[in-house]
Amino acid sequence: MSNDTAVEITGLVKRYGRRTAVDGLDLTVRKGSVTSVLGPNGAGKTTTVESCEGYRRPDAGTVRVLGLDPIADGPALRPRVGVMLQNGGVYPGVRAMEMLRHVARLHAHPLDPEALGERLGLDSCGRTPYRRLSGGQQQRLALALALVGRPELVFLDEPTAGLDPGGRHLTRDLIRELRRDGVTVVLTTHLIDEAEELSDRVAIIDGGRVIAEGSPEELCRGGSDSLRFSGRPGLDLKALTDALPEHCEAAEPVPGGYRITGRITPQVLATVTAWCAQHGVLADRITTRRHSLEDVFLDLTGRELRP
């Protein structure tokens, strides 16, 4: 395992009874990166992340976190790794800020719990017992608990699930700050736009394996963008295609509705509007659409990603 690797998973297999949740999964996470793990429900994301956190013992394969074994070296890893669990892991009667101060005291160089609590909007509910916090407040506390010890590496399991828009914005800002500070972030999410916006690398998991991995740009490369417009039906598609760069193709999927696929550059847009002008066509409702991570995900898994 090289020095700039934070997590290295090789051939991970995990079974629950007869069900194979993770089926020979390989994944490397570079130090200082934000890596998103995306996948449909039941793909094996949580099991994989829990194996890295030392909560699951692999049936086969190896997991190394900061060069250590998450189970055998748990005590050495715990001060260096932050974990945001989906279901808190917090005693139900404890007050939010009490819990945060308590966890801060367990670390050698914690963040100031009061400042972190305020940043995450926990000051207003600091005296509320955990079981009475709203779902969003519990999420915010779970994030604060993962970060208060200034970890080198954090695992965030759907950190924005159940948060209001303000909470989502704040959480995404915090993730960007962690990255700036050199912290490695492993994020599981169902939100493709979140993964695309925040991640250096994205691993798409399906059926317990990584089926695609790369930067969002790499994963989207090679797919087709599209430009659509409306005009009178029956335009000469061959003439339009001839006017366009070689990689582009024009089609009329519905009468009067046109679609150009290929790499849509500003020149392609200019060519289409100029061609329409020359042929007396008023191109209406022109839209361009970039090949997104969502398209890649759909192409690979045949499924939409829904929480």
Binding site for ligand ATP (CB under 6 A): 16, 19, 21, 39, 41-47
Q: How near is the Cβ of 206 to ligand ATP at its closest, in Å?
A: 9
Q: How near is the Cβ of 125 to ligand ATP at its closest, in Å?
A: 26
Query: Which residue has 């839209």 as its token pair?
Result: 287
Which residues, at least 6 apart from 285, have a Cβ–Cβ distance to it below 8 Å?
228, 229, 230
Q: How near is the Cβ of 71 to ligand ATP at its closest, in Å?
A: 17
Q: How near is the Cβ of 146 to ligand ATP at its closest, in Å?
A: 17
Which residue, 41 or 62, has its beta carbon nearer to ligand ATP?
Answer: 41
CA distance 27 to 304: 23
Task: Return the closest-CA partner of residue 14 out of 39, 49, 41, 66.
Answer: 49
Tokens of 95: 């007050």
Q: How near is the Cβ of 158 to ligand ATP at its closest, in Å?
A: 8
Which residue, 5 or 86, has its beta carbon nearer to ligand ATP?
Answer: 86
Which residue, 39 or 82, has its beta carbon nearer to ligand ATP?
Answer: 39
Residue 225: φ, ψ to 5°: -85, 170
CA distance 115 to 133: 19
Which residue, 49 or 227, has its beta carbon nearer to ligand ATP?
Answer: 49
Between the alpha carbon of residue 297 and those of residues 40, 160, 203, 221, the distances in Å are 9, 20, 10, 13
Q: How near is the Cβ of 89 to ligand ATP at its closest, in Å?
A: 15
Which residue, 21 or 204, has its beta carbon nearer to ligand ATP?
Answer: 21
Q: How near is the Cβ of 190 to ligand ATP at its closest, in Å?
A: 7
Which residue, 46 or 137, has its beta carbon nearer to ligand ATP?
Answer: 46
Q: How near is the Cβ of 222 to ligand ATP at its closest, in Å?
A: 26
Which residue, 41 or 278, has its beta carbon nearer to ligand ATP?
Answer: 41
Which residue, 50 or 225, has its beta carbon nearer to ligand ATP?
Answer: 50
